[in-house]
Structure 1
Amino acid sequence: MSTPTTQSTGSQDGPAELPRTLRALAVVERAGNALPHPFWLFWILAAILAVISTVLSTMDVSVVSPKDDKTVVVRNLLSGDGLAMAMSTAVENFATFGPMATIVVVIMGVAVAERSGFLAALMRVSVSRVPASWVVFAVAFAGTVSHVASAAAYIILVPLGGMAFRAVGKSPILGIVVAYTAIASGYDASPIPTPNDTIFAGITTTAAKIVDPGASVSAVSNWYFNIASSFVLATVITLVTRWVLAKRPDLDADPDADLDDVADLRLSPRDLSAVRWAGAAAGILLVALAIVVIPSGSPLRGEGGSLADSPFLDGVAGIVAVLFTVVGVVYGWRSGSIKAPSDVPTLMGEGVKQMAPVLVLFFAIAQFLAYFDWTHLGDVIAVSSADALKTSGIPIVVVFLLILVVMSVVNVLVTSGSAMWSIAAPVVVPMLMLLSVPAETTQALFRIADSGSTAITPMSPYFVMALGFLQRYRKNAGIGTLASYTLPLAVAMTTVWTLLFLAWWALGIPLGPGAPVR
């Protein structure tokens, strides 16, 4: 893969609006580069929180808590009590941070499936065995499914998108764009529970406890919405690609580009057999799980046979981890990538090792959220904002749209979903809960903002990675080139996804098991 460049590619590489796009992207890039690493960003936010809490506590700012109708006063983080709390609870804050243990468990299972080669093989099969007329939808839908592999989805599927399009006589440049945009702007719309689901659920639960101490948001609380979203977004990508992008005059690869890569899509008979065995193993596990869970008297159900508050939902992260471990082991055994039982914990360890930067970030996030909760600033902002919105009479749909716009803009600069949600959730989740909006609904709204603008921001490291893959076929492609391709897709996806959310809200359809939208 050649080194990505950022120069303008001239009028031949984009529409007439490209220079304006380039100027806007340059501003975004400079602003984003000025931001500190998310680890330090949270410590800076903690310092700002300390100053604000000092000022507000001096002013005796308070609200009446909706939890118990008691007066809640802002506490000074720089006081003796505040410093003692910060010092004595640092380890506990990290150890009890909701998403941490769950994400480690899920990643251990996903790592076995990924590093055994199963996920890469599955993606090859999914995009190589479809008719030419369906290849756009197949690559787009594979992009939403690929999120189970987290960041590895970009590395595996983006180049495969170019190969798949080339194999059916379409532009490989278009294949790169479709695959990248499907992953980036549909990142939180997977029909299969992903590691991100567990992270978001943990952060949402922590934020919801500001209003309801007994609140609990599961990793599958948005599952129904995610399934529908993945199909809708894949359809949107297909239509925009056919009606808009496919009509561009600049889709041809360079004359000297290396196009001899179609064979990479095909699996060996041994690997194909391994995929079938792994699929059969997954089917057996899912049938067995259904047999155990479906009966109303199942031990995996809650009180009165409920699934909403049950051991099944409480343990869904572990179930997902076991499922991925089993299919990975079966695939590895049949393909030869796993030769001994000792290979399995080694693969798990490699997956956890890859998560080390995220765990380091979690330490900073956990401290900030603990400080925010202790100062009661979240209660004050949530109650005051909710009261102001009630008084103003602004329709809740307008509130949704305002929050969506603000978070979408922030996402252009803060591309880490867990970082952005950690900042936003303690404010918007309790605020909307006081307006009778469930925490799960606010989380679903965040998913749209966290995904939509990702495909167009050069601040994402995967944008640069996708540009590198694009340059295999167009050497002089730059940031503006890729952005001019992804912008129509990203805008259409965000618009339609928002309309889907509003329709879901209006119809009152549950977002997931035990998660009413209203």
Structure 2
Amino acid sequence: MSEAPGNSFAQRALAFVERTGNRLPDPAMLFVALLLVVWLASWLLSYFDYGLTDPRTGGPLQVVNQLSATAMTQFLGSMVTNFAHFHPIGVVLVAMLGIGVAEHTGFINAALRSMLRVTASWLLTPMVILVGIVSHTAADAGYVLVIPLGGVIFYSAGRHPLAGIAAAFAGVSGGFSANFIPSAIDPMLQGITQTGAQIIDPAITLNPLNNYFFTATSSVLIIGLGWLITDKFVEPRLASTPLDEDIVDQDSSTELTAQQSRGLRYALLSMVLSLLLLAVSAWSPESAWRGANGSLTELGAPLMASIVPLIFLLFVIPGIVYGIFSGTVTSSRDVIEGMTQSMHSMAYYLVIMFFIAQFVYAFSQSNLGVLLALQGGAGLQALGLPSAMTITGIVLLTGLLNLFVGSASAKWALLAPIFVPMLMSLGISPDLTQAAYRIGDSTTNIITPLMPYFPLVVVYCQRYVKNTGIGTLTAMMLPYSLGFIILWTLYLLLFWGAGLPLGLQSSYTY
């Protein structure tokens, strides 16, 4: 495969990033190191008087030494509770139980294939990106299903298969925080954001869909921009890239068997009926789904409190129905097996969450977060930077960090206790800070070889062009990354500047 000008520079830069990133410890051990840093910093800084007022108590702010005998015994005594009650864990696991059933029975696989199969050739690019975005609700399904299918479909349509892979990769990973459908990532990030916000205001609570309006409308932006970049920049550049003559016959597997089609029809029917039942039960002004003020979306409304269980049901019901009619579910054991496999895939996540929970506890108890927030807020105020520049800085810093630390939850658990309270002191809401983080976290996924699925995408490309390497894939995805981070950030600033709500309301007013 011929290299485009500048690709050698991209390869050298990526080699440097890879070497640097490989020196970082495992994310779990990174939080062990950060816990030690918090203990040491709290001990050293506990001897100083900062002349600041703690906004939570109205009294003087004091850093609490976490190496003291009292603090250490409290830490050990609460270690299990810190982990078991850490908000992101429960919501993610419950959602994944339902998604696991839908994946195991084949419902998600069949639904995605069906969406791609019925698309006109000129709409292939936006449909591939759309399916990639929708696949976010199924955790890693997009990486193992949508991206290779993007290549297969483009190849079958006489288009360059690497362009199909690039479009799918852009939708699945580059637009990770854009989605029409609420998913487990929403309550997971909201829980971490809420923990950070409570450093300043212990009474604050955030809605699990606090970014939903922004992320849902962002889907249109990502689809349109990805469509333009694929058809006008990426695919024309690939025109000079010949395919290998001995391409392995690809199984276009977008066609469904009669049994799978029947299962999909009944599954979709069950999903529609479930949503209709929910709508009917919530329609009445006296509905039990409504909050004290009669609103379905107000904070504390049972409907809002049930978002995660509803996501669970939205996948488990059609997943079971599909399995029954397609033959993949023959007994209750198959349903339980799907849930069990999904929990197996979450084992590493739980290990990381254990250490994150202990770090968040110690960081909160030490008052270091409050100190950083007040001092950082004072520093930003002294600089007099416009809020738009501050938000843009959060996006860029997150995107840079994402080149080295891939886990969205791990990065946000590290950054939220600093960014959220610091920007709250400047009058910037936690919802806006979280939205800025989500943009930075998404847009550089597709140009870092440290992202766990990046090498897998290289392998997908090598099915068509054997000498595809990391530099080739990075050069192919760089236009998406740059386009997404620039225009998506501008869209956030316009969204915010117009006074539009980012999502459903939380328990604060700015």
Which of the five TM-score ranges fits, normalised by the shorter chain?
Answer: over 0.9
How many Å separate the matches in 2 of 1:155 and 1:260?
A: 15
Q: CA RMSD in A?
A: 1.5
CA deviations 1:324-345 (Å, max 9, x no partner) are 1001001111111111123212
Contact 2:206 2:505 in 1 (8 A): no
Given candidates 283, 305, 314, the residue that maps to 2:305 is: 314
Partner in structure 2 of residue 493 of structure 1: 484
Structure 2 counterpart of 1:439, one-letter code: P
1:192 maps to 2:181: yes
1:176 is aligned to: 165
How many Å apart are 1:119 and its aligned residue? 0.8
1:140–1:234 CA contact under 8 A, matched in 2: yes
8 Å CA contact retained: 1:193, 1:219:
no
C-alpha separation between the residues in 2 aligned to 1:116 and 1:304?
Answer: 41
Aligned residues: 506
Q: State whether residues 173 and 253 of structure 1, in contact with CA within 8 Å, keep that contact through their aligned partners in structure 2.
A: no
- Counterpart CA distance in 1 for 2:226 and 2:366 is 45
* 1:160-239 pair list within 5 angstroms: 160-239=149-228
Select between 69-78 and 373-382 the one with higher mean Cα deviation: 69-78
Give unpaired runs (5+ residues) of structure 2.
Answer: none
1:87 Cα offset (Å): 1.2
| Amino acid in the other structure paired with 1:164 | I
Asked whether 1:257 is paired with 2:247, we answer yes
- The answer to whether the 8 A contact 1:510-1:517 is kept is no
* Structure-to-structure mapping, 1:450-461, within 5 angstroms: 450-461=441-452
Aligned to 1:266: 255
In structure 2, C-alpha distance between the alignment counterparts of 1:350 and 1:498, rounded to whole Å: 37
Question: CA separation of 1:439/1:161 partners in 2, compared to 1, >3 Å: closer, same or farther?
Answer: same
Contact preservation (8 Å) 1:508, 1:517: no
What 5-or-longer segments of structure 1 have no aligned partner? 1-8
Q: CA deviation at 1:466?
A: 0.5
Separation (CA, whole Å) in 1 of partners of 2:221 and 2:500: 16
Please give the alpha-carbon distance, in whole angstroms, between the structure 2 residues aligned to 1:62 and 1:420.
31
2:285 & 2:388 partners in 1: Cα distance? 37
Partner of 1:462 in structure 2?
A: 453
**Contact 2:107 2:322 (C-alpha < 8 Å) held by counterparts:** yes
- Partner residue in 2 for 1:402: 393
Alignment of 1:351-366 (within 5 A): 351-366=342-357
Q: CA deviation at 1:29?
A: 0.2
Matches of residues 400-479 of structure 1 in structure 2 within 5 Å?
400-479=391-470
Q: Distance in 1 between matches of 2:509 and 2:279?
A: 25
Q: Deviations over 1:122-153 (max 9, x none)?
A: 11111121111000000011111101111222
Cα distance, 1:90 vs structure 2:
0.6
Query: Out of 48, 59, 67, which is 1:70 matched to?
Result: 59
Query: How far off is 1:84 after superposition?
Result: 1.4
Q: How does 1:120-159 map to 2 (within 5 A)?
A: 120-159=109-148
Q: TM-score scaled by structure 1?
A: 0.95
Q: How does 1:227-306 map to 2 (within 5 A)?
A: 227-248=216-237, 249-262=239-252, 264-306=253-295
Asked if 1 retains the 8 angstrom alpha-carbon contact of 2:290 and 2:303, the reply is yes
Superposed displacement of residue 517, structure 1: 9.7
User: For residue 373 of structure 1, what is the aligned residue in structure 2?
Assistant: 364
1:58 alignment partner, SS class: coil
Segments of 4+ moved more than 6 angstroms? none
- Mean CA deviation greater in 445-454 or 296-305: 296-305
Q: What secondary structure does 1:64 align onto?
A: coil
- Whole-angstrom distance in 2 between the partners of 1:102 and 1:131: 38
Give the 3 Å change call, closer, same or farther, for CA 73–266 of structure 1 in structure 2.
same
Between the aligned residues of both structures, percent identity stands at 33
Q: Does 1:32 align with 2:21?
A: yes
SS in 2 for 1:257: coil
| Pairing 1:502–2:493 present | yes
Cα 1:215/1:517, change in 2 over 3 Å: closer
C-alpha deviation, 1:208, in angstroms: 1.1
Rounded Cα–Cα distance in structure 2 between residues aligned with 1:370 and 1:61: 22
* 8 Å contact from structure 2 (residues 21, 404) kept in 1: yes
Shift of 1:356: 0.9
Deviation at 1:251, TM superposition (A): 4.0
Q: Residue 433 of structure 1: CA displacement?
A: 1.5
